[in-house]
Each structure stands twice: as C-alpha cells, then as structure tokens.
A and B are shown apart, each in its own frame.
Chain A
C-alpha cells in the first residue's frame, strides 16, 4: 500500500524540488529574506534541527535557545554509572553549532506568545519567530509516587537526565558494601529510552559481578513487558546468572509510594528496602511545552507526522522525547531523525512549498556488557495522522546469535555515539 504512495511522492518531490530550487529559492536567498526560526532545547533534537535548518537554507535566521552551556548526553551514561566510562565523554558544548551560523543563546525559554509569535527568555530577551521548534526533552512527574519529590532524587537518584544525577548513582554503587541490594523502579510506557532501565541493570550487574559479587539487583516494574525483553533475559542468564530479578506489574512490580526515612519502596504487595535505590519515575514533556500550550492531557505533545507541527498550536513544531511520535520510541536516534525531517518541512513551508512525506529510521543499541550489545530498529512512515512502523522491517537483534555478533553490535553502538554526537555537536 505505502509503496505505491511513496513512489509517487518521491517522483513528485523530485519534480517540485527541482523546479523550486531554481525558480523560487534562489531569488528569496539573494534578497536575504529566509525567515526566522527559533529552536528551544539544544539536545539531540534541537541542536540537530538548528544545524539542519541552517544547512538547508543558509539565508534563514536560526536561533538556538539552551539553558545549559554544557550538554551531557544520556546515551552511554549507564556505562558512566557502572564506572566503565568518564562523564567527560558524555559532554559537549555549542561552539561548533555557533560557528556553523546558528545563533546560540544561553538562557531558558520561559514563555511563548503563540499569537504574537515570540519567545521570552529568562535573560529578558524576546525572540520573534516565523516558526518555533520545541525540543525540551522530559521533565519528571514528581507527583507520580506518594512521598516522591525533587528532594528525594538527591537520595534516590533517577539518573534519567545525565550529569550530577549520573555521578550520584555511581558513587552510591561504589560506596555500597558487597551483598547489598540495588533497587530499580521502572515506569510504565511511554517514557524516555524504553530499553534504558534494563541496559542499566545489565551494566550495574557487570560492575557488581567483579566488584561486589554477592550483591543483587531487583527491578520493580510498572509494566508487564519491556523492550528487547527476551534478548535481555537471555543475556542476564548467560552473563549474570541469579543476579537480576525482574518483577512485572502483574506480580506486584508497580511502586506506588516511597518511605524516604527508611529508604523503602512500597508496592501493593510488599515493601522493598535497598542499599541503593534508583527511581526512574513517570515523565512528561519538558515544561515549556505546557507553557506554550502544545502538551495534551497525557503530558506529551501531539504533532503532525509529516511536519512535526503541533496539532494544538500553529507554527510551533515539537520533536524528540516531548512529541507523541506514534510508534517511534523516545530515543536520541529518533530525536535526531525527526529533527532533520522537521527542518526540511520548515524550509519547505517557509518557501511556500508542500513538505514531502518522510520516512524515518530508529536504531537503538543497548549495552549488556562492554563487548556485548543488542539492538532494536524500525522504519516509520506517516499514516492516519501518526508515525507508524512499516511492517516487515525492523525488529530486534537475532536471538541465539554468536558472541561475535554481540561484540560487533557493541562496536557499532560506540561508532553510533561518535557519529551522532559529531553530527549534532561536532565541527
């Protein structure tokens, strides 16, 4: 079905693009009237989008608004937690983004005037836009568990935004005596990086196996199945026998409350006390999404799957974790792929053209040990107002593959991190 449509789309795109680049874009560029785009959030989504916009049309004025001068990437931060990697290897600045012609403003966006089309910043500036892109990532739902709050995360870290939280969890693991219990509370879907909690459990087990071999990990889960589950479970059996126990929702895995004074997690069935407790709470789109009015009752942002324009507020596009991208998981790979599609759509819209129907890819690696990785991949297309996975493609790594294949995937995983961070932040 899709194939007929998309073939036709490609032909049409090629024709209109060919004509447009000669007839319409050239004069607009020579007059310097490219349009103004403001991008809020300089992570995998926002920084990619700002760069892609500027590359696609150098005449555009592109401003990237980011609250922090240093970006700390989450992918591979589970290797930092388990002492395999330095936090510095996760950190990037915006000098190359700026050098490429994007104007980078270090400040938090605090308000959006959607009818007047401008963004207000904490530093007092007001940035007018023709198109606004929001890629603010996630905020924690501090109210999702009884007894939970931002202050509790200083004792029971989430480490779901990389940085000081990552190092806190690492230090707690290092300080834990042998024989200690590590508790991980994983949320229900949807949330940032669906295989992330299980990658984390794997790499913590790797650390414990050689440093604190009598310790155990208990995952309390708010759902009954998880990403790459059978591959993770097979790897746990092979590499870390008896070390990781997973309690699904239906067996009482859902944590409903926290007793902070005794470091105890409470489910409907039991109380669990850990030596180290990692609470990965439920999440929602970064706060600016709500402020701009692009978040719905789920806490995430409905978008058009061709342009990533909000279904609630015109001229505002939402990409990355904050968006409701249908079947696409909330990953850095997805955010980067969406960013480039969104940038192309904005360039077309500003030139008065119709954006072409896109195809998007996601590929997410999970490290189970330093030389052992598994992956999930998918190809996505717009259908019925959502991004849907193209059936017959995608899926997870082969079950029962030889170790050489797992170690090849580990090498590809590290290559992926270098390649994508080069595209997003590199010179």
Chain B
C-alpha cells in the first residue's frame, strides 16, 4: 500500500518537473511539495555556504529517501534529523526528495 502510493507520487511529481525543463527557465519554478521549502533553513543551496549540513539540491532522490528512512527507524546516528524525519510519511519524503533531486 505504502510502496504503491509512493511510486504513484514519484511518477506524478516527475511530470511538472519535466515539463518545466522542456519549456525553459523563464517559466515559474515548480511548486514545492508539502514540507520541502522548510528544509533550506538548514540545508545549503551550494557548497559555498559554510556549514557541516549536507546539500539536498541535486542529490539523487534515492539517497535522500534512504537517509530519511534510516533516520526515521533510528538506524542512522542523528542529532536532530531523527526527530524531523518522524514527521514525514514515505510518500511525503519521496516527493520532497524528487523535488530536490530535480533542482540544480
């Protein structure tokens, strides 16, 4: 059930991303899925910002999803991400990961 939903979400989310890329950068940015825009409070847009927090922009979606899954399960050492990951379902996480993976 969960897996099916997240696959559907991934498929649907990829539609607007592709459309925007085809049409060009003059078009408005793809609306972010729920929760996505909060992340950039801590996660930097590029390597020029001096922070030990990893960049999400341009990361493979599978890597973001795997990290969040491990944080949620307590399987990856964390200071704050374990607490935050528990607030997002698998489908929500997948949508956010796809959105960040599509940014450059």
- A interface list, Cβ under 8 A from B: 3, 6-7, 9-11, 13-15, 17-18, 21-22, 25-26, 29, 52, 55-59, 333, 336-337, 340-341, 344, 347-348, 356-361, 363, 375, 377-379, 390, 392-395, 397, 405, 408-409, 411-412, 414-416, 418-420, 422-423, 426
Contact = CB atoms under 8 A, between A and B. Distances in A.
Given A333-B41, A379-B84, A419 B35 contact: no
Given A15-B12, A397-B79, A408-B79, A415 B19 contact: no
A377 B80 contact: yes
A358 B9 CA distance: 16
Looking at A13, A21, A397, A420, which has the most chain B CB atoms within 10 Å of its CB? A21
Contacts of A57: 28
Interface residues of B, number: 46
Contact of B50 (A52, A337, A358, A415): A415
B42 A419 contact: yes
B19 A21 contact: yes
9 contacts: A7-B9, A14-B33, A17-B16, A347-B31, A359-B34, A361-B84, A379-B35, A415-B51, A422-B49
B87 A379 contact: yes
Interface of A, secondary structure class, is helix
B16 A415 contact: no
Contacts of A337: 37-38, 41
Contact of B28 (A7, A56, A409, A426): A56
B49 A358 contact: no
A3 B35 contact: no
Given A56-B31, A363-B80, A416-B53, 16 more contacts: A7-B9, A7-B92, A10-B13, A18-B19, A21-B31, A337-B37, A347-B28, A394-B84, A405-B79, A409-B80, A412-B51, A412-B80, A415-B53, A419-B51, A422-B45, A423-B40
Closest 5 CB pairs of A and B: A379-B87, A415-B51, A393-B87, A359-B35, A361-B38
A57 B37 CA distance: 15
B3 interface: no
